[in-house]
């Protein structure tokens, strides 16, 4: 336990790009837990794009920033948890979090043989998202082509590797030459192009996918989606995991090529990982085995110190990260 | 057999709306069949919207118009068919068709207890299209809402009734007050509106579907699709059976609200009846039973005489038909 708690508060709703003025780092005494509460010493915290949306709505000014984290139980009034247990779930951007009645905490199993930080990404929500999109929705067959947008991202980097494990050809798009190199050289995709440097997205897609696209793992929407729709093969599948386009149809430019869904008998499936949480227990050991055997490679970029969370988050939003960015905010008891 | 054959030839490719100048009615001697050919005396012929597309491309000027038809074998050099057999398949707009080696002919079973003309619609491709869209792709559950565009059409009129048989609430849109009355009073949909008289399609859709839409049977694309996307329920399904919007994405205005596919975790499935032809044999007796028991009602509008085919077709394209339009071009041996 500790006398003081270093915390990152959300203090100002951003307009446009987020900057440091949305956050304040404070040193406060740890709030005394209630009788059934669980106190977690935070070890790893995740910075993710979806937090930007919460800063526009769900988060309240003056409260601590919250994202997924991994930690160690140091005190518990709840029968499910005892000191020394490793957990993951929503935790504050702070050294210690008091979790009311331990709600929303899940168990971390260090015996799976992978870093416990992986519960924030490849063995957590992003990893399962990639798995569902490829192995439940897209279901590529050997020799089919799978196209993944945001191929260097936390989800896309896993999706493409799972496609290759299924025997398919994995092709991606990414937003810089450095990311393209990472996708090709480290992640082992069969092809990848820099969409920001493309003079014609349809031509870039066609060039990278000479046999057409059988499965599209959709992370971005917009012009890449339109280019892909025109290059899908008959009976292709599109797993819609994320889209930049908003819901406000008055500003929505529309998606051209929708009629390809009919003409090519495509199946387009939007999905949310929250519909698939029941898969976690059976899936995590399978994914851990793919990681420990080296068939899936994963790259985390570890930053040190909770007070650097705003900087890490802001830079990630601007696209300066390669692979998943994770903050280490306390000693890892398994390291 | 006959000495002469009344035939409707396709003589001029239409530009815009089709008129009578695209056709010529001629009296010609029947072409002598080859040794393995089958001669069919045509009884019913179908006029369908898809023929307009073929007039723009596949049909050759100077040849006989071709659509689906039902007829009776009068001479056969092929072992599969003998005189007196009833068949359906692609036949000419003529009194007698010579079918090379009997290719593409399917058997008509008069013992199913329904008019043999039904093989052109409710017991044929349009009927199976409705079945696949509702019972294979949409799969409505009891108390769900199914929305059907072109609800008075050959496919939509069956789709809505199948939805009701599944226990769902069936709602439609149609293009005139008379069609709306037909959909409500004859077909038994729970609600229907005239999209041409709607001041706001989103409001018309919302008013007719106060609990949202769980299954959309998509026949039209465009503004109705956009209105429906905004009113789909989470985990809804869209069976894309037809769309007005073309494939030319340079003129394509785009479909707004695509992001609802993600936000509501929708599944959008384009399908073609040609992927489902294997279902016919098992499906036809089931559908026939629904018809003979009165659980599905079906309305055919029978015109007499092959020479009226152009008039029947042109009027159907302009929307003057209610239910399926069929031409009787010879005596029905089962009537």
Same domain, A262 and A182: yes
Q: Which residues contact A198 (CB under 8 A, 6 or more apart)?
A: A204
Which residues contact residue A33 at a Cβ distance below 8 angstroms, ignoring those fewer than 6 apart?
A39, A75, A77, A98
- pLDDT tens column, B85-112: 999 999 999 999 999 999 999 999 999 9
What residues form DSSP beta bridges with A216?
A147, A238
Chain A within 8 Å of B214 (Cβ-Cβ)? no
pLDDT band at B242 (very low <50, low <70, confident <90, very high): confident
Strands B96-99 and B38-46: antiparallel
Q: What is the total count of domains within chain B?
A: 2
Q: How far is CA A63 from the centre of its chain?
A: 24
Helix, strand, coil share (%) of chain A residues, nearest 5: 35, 30, 40
Same domain, A44 and A90: yes
Classify B308 as helix, strand or coil.
helix
At residue A62, φ and ψ (nearest 5 deg) are: 100, -15
Same domain, A99 and A136: no
Q: Do B262 and A256 touch (CB under 8 A)?
A: no
Instruction: Report the C-alpha gap between A162 and A135 in whole angstroms.
Output: 8
Residue B184 DSSP symbol: I
Taking CB atoms and an 8 Å limit, are A272 and B265 in contact across chains? yes
**Element (DSSP H or E) covering residue A46:** strand A38-46
Q: Could you tell me if residue A308 is inside a domain? A: yes
Q: In terms of domains, do B262 and B201 share one?
A: yes
Do B24 and B81 lie in one domain? The reply is: yes
CB contact under 8 A, A270 and B261: yes
Token pair recorded at residue A180: 């393209």
What residue in A sits closest to B257 (Cα-Cα)? A249
CA distance B187 to B299: 9
DSSP state of A136: I
- Region B72-81 average pLDDT: 97
Tokens of A153: 């991202």
Q: Does B287 map to a domain? A: no
Which residue's entry shows tokens 């073609």? B272
Chain B 268-307, CB below 8 Å of chain A: which residues?
268-272, 275
Residue A288 maps to a domain? no
A226 CB within 8 Å of a chain B CB: yes
Same domain? B115 vs B134: no
Among B274, B290, B311, give the residue marking a domain's end.
B274
Q: Do A247 and B263 touch (CB under 8 A)?
A: yes
How many CB pairs below 8 Å do chains A and B form together?
110
- pLDDT of B247 higher than 50: no
Q: What CATH number is associated with residue B162? A: 3.40.50.720
How far apart CA A273 and CA A126 sit, in angstroms, is 9
| Domain identity same for B263 and B164 | yes
Average confidence score pLDDT of chain B: 93
Is residue B229 domain-shared with residue B265, that is, in the same domain? yes
Q: Hey, how many other C-beta atoms are within 10 angstroms of the C-beta on A76?
A: 22
Considering the domain architecture, whether residues A164 and A213 belong to the same structural domain is answered as: yes
Best of A133, A258, A267, A268 to disrupt the B interface by mutation (most B CBs within 10 Å)?
A258
Can you tell me which residue has the tokens 């998606």?
Answer: A255
**Torsion angles phi and psi, residue B308, rounded to 5:** -90, 5
**pLDDT, tens digit only, all 335 positions of chain A:** 556 899 999 999 998 889 999 999 999 999 899 999 999 999 999 998 889 888 988 899 999 999 999 999 999 999 999 999 999 999 999 999 999 999 999 999 999 999 999 999 999 999 999 999 999 999 999 999 999 999 998 899 999 999 999 999 999 999 999 999 999 999 999 999 999 999 999 999 999 999 999 999 998 888 999 999 999 999 999 999 876 544 444 578 889 998 899 999 999 999 999 999 999 999 999 999 999 999 999 989 999 999 999 999 999 888 788 878 999 999 999 98
Residues B189 and B223 grouped into a single domain: yes
Tell me what ipTM this predicted complex has. Answer: 0.86
Domain assignment present for residue A286? The answer is no
Nearest to residue A212, comparing CAs of A169, A261, A253, A150?
A169
Q: List b or e across A272-292, with b for residues whose CB sees 16 or more CB atoms inside 10 angstroms.
A: bbeebeebbeebbeebbebbe
Structure tokens at B307: 């020479």
* B187: containing domain: 125-274
Are B252 and A257 in contact (CB < 8 Å)? yes
Residue A172 is assigned to a structural domain of this protein: yes
Q: What is the pLDDT of residue B49?
A: 82
User: Is residue A192 situated within a structural domain?
Assistant: yes
Could you tell me if B143 and B248 lie in one domain? yes
Q: Do residues B78 and B37 touch, judged by C-beta distance below 8 A? A: yes
In a domain, B238, yes or no: yes
Does residue B116 share a domain with residue B130? no
CA distance B1 to B91: 17
CATH number at residue A32: 3.90.180.10
Q: CA angle, B59 as apex, B58 and B64 as ends, to 5°?
A: 155
């Amino acid at each position: 336990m500790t006398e003081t708690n270093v915390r990152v508060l959300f203090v100002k709703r951003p307009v446009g790009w987020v900057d440091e003025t949305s956050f304040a780092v404070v040193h406060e005494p740890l709030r005394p837990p209630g009788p059934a509460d669980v106190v977690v010493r935070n070890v790893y915290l995740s910075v993710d794009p979806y937090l930007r949306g919460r800063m526009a709505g769900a988060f309240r000014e003056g409260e601590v920033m919250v994202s997924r984290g991994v930690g160690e139980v140091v005190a518990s009034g709840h029968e499910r948890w005892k000191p020394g247990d490793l957990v993951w779930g929503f935790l504050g951007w702070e050294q210690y979090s008091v979790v009311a009645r331990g709600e929303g905490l899940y168990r971390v199993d260090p015996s799976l043989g992978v870093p416990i930080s992986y519960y924030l990404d490849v063995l957590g929500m992003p990893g399962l998202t990639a798995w569902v999109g490829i192995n439940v929705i897209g279901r590529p067959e050997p020799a089919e082509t799978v196209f993944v947008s945001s191929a260097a991202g936390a989800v896309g980097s896993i999706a493409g590797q799972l496609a290759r494990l299924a025997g398919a050809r994995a092709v991606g798009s990414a937003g810089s030459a450095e990311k393209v190199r990472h996708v090709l050289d480290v992640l082992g995709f069969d092809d990848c192009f820099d969409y920001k440097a493309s003079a014609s997205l349809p031509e870039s897609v066609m060039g990278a996918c000479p046999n057409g696209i059988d499965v599209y793992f959709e992370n971005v929407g917009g012009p890449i989606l339109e280019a892909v729709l025109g290059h899908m093969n008959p009976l292709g599948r599109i797993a819609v995991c994320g889209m930049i386009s908003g819901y406000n149809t008055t500003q929505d430019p529309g998606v051209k090529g929708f009629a390809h869904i009919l003409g090519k008998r495509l199946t387009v499936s939007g999905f949310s990982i929250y519909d698939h949480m029941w898969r976690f227990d059976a899936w995590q050991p399978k994914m851990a085995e793919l990681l420990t055997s080296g068939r899936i490679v994963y790259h985390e970029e570890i930053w040190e110190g909770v007070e650097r969370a705003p900087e890490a988050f802001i830079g990630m939003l601007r696209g300066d990260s390669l692979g998943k960015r994770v903050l280490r905010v306390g000693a890892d008891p398994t390291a």
